[in-house]
Amino acid sequence: MSGMIKNYKIIISYDGSRYDGWQKQANTENTIQGKLEALLSRMAGSAILVHGSGRTDAGVHALGQTANFRMDTTCSEAELQAAINGYLPEDIAVVHLKTASERFHSRLSAVGKIYRYRLYVGNGKPVFDRKYVWQPDGELNMDKMREAASFLVGQHDFRGFCGNRHMKKSTVRKITRIDIEKTAGGTEIDLTFEGNGFLQNMVRIMTGTLVECGQGFRRPEEMPEILETGERQMAGKMAPAKGLTLMEVKY
Amino acid sequence: MSGMIKNYKIIISYDGSRYDGWQKQANTENTIQGKLEALLSRMAGSAILVHGSGRTDAGVHALGQTANFRMDTTCSEAELQAAINGYLPEDIAVVHLKTASERFHSRLSAVGKIYRYRLYVGNGKPVFDRKYVWQPDGELNMDKMREAASFLVGQHDFRGFCGNRHMKKSTVRKITRIDIEKTAGGTEIDLTFEGNGFLQNMVRIMTGTLVECGQGFRRPEEMPEILETGERQMAGKMAPAKGLTLMEVKY
C-alpha cells in the first residue's frame, strides 16, 4: 500500500539541554534534526531529509522550530504526528503537522523569526528554571539596555554580532523589534527579538552586549560603532545558550 | 571568634529529580538533608543536624520545605544564607533563613502543609515541564474527581491511603481542602492538598485514586469505604513522584 509523496510542515518544541544543536553533523548523532531524520527514515523504510528553518546552537531551546520533509505514507496527519511523538524522546515534541504546498520550504519560505532570551534577576537561585535562564552578575539597568537595543532595531549589517568569522553571504538583516520586559513577578528580564533572520550566535552576542550595557560596563552609544565597523571583538561576550529559545518562525 | 548557638529556620526549594528524597539514609549520600548536613558541618567544623518538617519521597520536589538547625556562627543571616547557596548545587536553594526561637522545631511546630500535584492533560507532550508533571491516560472528568475528593476532606483515618504497612503511630489526619483546578491555559489539572499532616505516600495515593475516578475506572462513592476499611489495596495506584511538589509548611 502506497500513498503519494506529500510535503509535510512540522513545528517542533525541544529542550536543547541534552543536544548538540538542531543541525545534523558528521561527528555526532545527538542533534534534533538527526533524531528526526533517523526516526522518519526508519518509519518510511528509506532516507527522509528534514529541512529546518535554520540552526539552533547546542543547548538552545525551541518552542516553535519549523521544518518540512517529503514522505510517501497512507497515514493521516494525526496518525503520523502521533507516531512520530511516540518514538521521539520526551524532550522533543512535534506540536503541529500538516501537509503543505509542494513549494513550501521551511528555510526559504520563512519571512521572520522570534527569539526570546530569559535573564534571571531574582535574589535567589532559579531552581526549576535553571536550564532555561541565565543569571548575569550585578544589577541591570533596563533603561540602558533598551537604549542600546534601539540602535540595533532596523536594517543593518550585523557582521559585528556574528559568531562566524568566515561568513561569505550577506550579513545584512532587519530587526523589527527588541522588547525588554520584566516578567515572572519581577524575577526575570526577558528579551524578545523579532527580525527577518539572524546570523550565527547573533541573538546571544546581542544579548551579552545588551547585558553589559545594563551592568554599566559599556555605553549604549557604542552600538552604532559596532555596527559600522563590523568588528566582532568590539561587541560583548556571547550569552550562554541555555537562556535562549526560538519561539516562532513566521511564513 | 565565636558567636552564640542560634536556632535557624530555613525554607528550601529543590528539584527532586536527581535525589533519593529528603531524608538522609545509610545507603546513599544523595539526599537533600544529607547534602545540607554535609555542607553545614563542613562550614561549622563540627556535626550539624538538620531537622526537616517531614520527608519527601525520592523524585518529589519542594518550593517550601522547611527545616531548622543549630549553629554557632558570627555570620549574619544574609551572609550565612549566601554562603550556603554558594555551596549547594543549582537544583537546591535556601530561599529564606532567619533565626528562630529556641523552641522552634520544623516538624513538631508545623500546623499544616500544602502539596500540589500537577497533571498534564494537553494534547501534546510537556517538553519543558516533563519532570514536574504526570500525564495520565485518557480524559479526566473533573466533576467526578471533585466529588471523590469531597469524601476525603475532613478528619479521617487515612490508613487506606498510606504506603507504610507497618505504621505504628496514629494514621488519623485532617485534610482541610483539596482544590482541583484547570491551569496553564487548560493543559494542566492541578490538585492542591492542604492538611495538618500527611502519611507516607498519602498525597500520591490519593492523587492516583482521584485520577482513576476521573478516568471512570472507579466511582467517587468508593472513597468512604476505603477510609472505613483502611485497606491499602482498595485504593488506587500511587501516582508518580515527579508530579508532586511540597508547596508550603505552615506554623
Residue B63: phi and psi, rounded to 5, are: -95, -35
Interface of A with B (CB under 8 A): 13-15, 61, 85, 88, 90-93, 95, 124-125, 127-128, 130, 132
Nearest-Cα residue of chain B relative to residue A82: B124
Encode pLDDT of B1-40 as tens digits.
Answer: 456 899 999 999 999 999 999 999 888 889 999 999 999 9
Q: Do A13 and B127 touch (CB under 8 A)?
A: yes
For residue A123, give the DSSP letter. S
pLDDT of A3: 59
Nearest-Cα residue of chain A relative to residue B14: A127
- B243: which 3 cell numbers? 508530579
Q: Do A128 and B132 touch (CB under 8 A)?
A: yes
Q: Do A128 and B85 touch (CB under 8 A)?
A: no
pLDDT of A1: 46
Nearest-Cα residue of chain B relative to residue A127: B91
Out of B61, B85, B124, name the one closest to residue A93 (CB): B124
pLDDT of B167: 83
Which of A161-170, A242-251, B34-43, B69-78 has the least mean pLDDT?
A161-170
Chain B residues with CB inside 8 Å of A132's CB?
A: 128
Encode pLDDT of A44-90 as tens digits.
Answer: 999 999 999 999 999 999 999 999 999 999 999 999 999 999 999 99
Distance, in Å, from the CA atom of B207 to the CA atom of A143, rounded to the nearest integer, reads: 47
CA-based nearest distance A231→chain B, Å: 36
Q: Do A93 and B132 touch (CB under 8 A)?
A: no
pLDDT of B2: 54
CA-based nearest distance B55→chain A, Å: 19
Out of A61, A91, A125, name the one closest to residue B85 (CB): A125
CA-based nearest distance A200→chain B, Å: 24
Residues of B annotated as catalytic are: 57
Identify the residue among A127, A134, A137, A187 best suited for mutation to test binding to B, counting B beta carbons within 10 A and taking the highest.
A127
Identify the residue among A32, A94, A128, A244 best suited for mutation to test binding to B, counting B beta carbons within 10 A and taking the highest.
A128
B171 touches B157 (CB < 8 A)? yes
**Strand, helix or coil at A206?**
helix
Out of A15, A124, A130, name the one closest to residue B128 (CB): A15
A140-157: average pLDDT: 98
Cα A192 to chain centroid, rounded: 11
Whole-structure pTM value: 0.91
Nearest-Cα residue of chain A relative to residue B11: A124
Report residues of chain B scoring pLDDT below 70: 1-3
Q: Do B124 and A90 touch (CB under 8 A)?
A: no
Assembly ipTM: 0.86
For residue A28, give the DSSP letter. B
Nearest-Cα residue of chain B relative to residue A61: B128
A195-220: average pLDDT: 98
Distances (CA, A) of B160 to B50, B57, B164, B227, B244: 31, 18, 10, 6, 20
Identify the residue among B13, B128, B187 best suited for mutation to test binding to A, counting A beta carbons within 10 A and taking the highest.
B128
**How many Cβ pairs closer than 8 A exist between chain A and B?**
46
Following CA atoms B168, B170, B172, B173 in sequence, which dihedral angle do they give, to the nearest 10 degrees?
A: -100
Q: Do B15 and A132 touch (CB under 8 A)?
A: no
Q: Do B15 and A128 touch (CB under 8 A)?
A: yes
User: Strand B244-250 and strand B61-73: pairing?
Assistant: parallel
pLDDT-based confidence at residue A175 (cuts at 50, 70, 90): very high
Backbone φ/ψ region at B45: left (φ over 0), alpha (ψ -120 to 50), beta? left
pLDDT at A177 over 80: yes
The closest alpha carbon to A40, from A6, A90, A64, belongs to A6
Burial B114-139 (b: 16+ CB within 10 A, else e): bbbbbbbbeeebbbbbbbbbbbbeee
Nearest-Cα residue of chain A relative to residue B91: A127
Chain B residues with CB inside 8 Å of A92's CB?
A: 127
Q: Do B127 and A85 touch (CB under 8 A)?
A: no
Residues of A annotated as catalytic are: 57
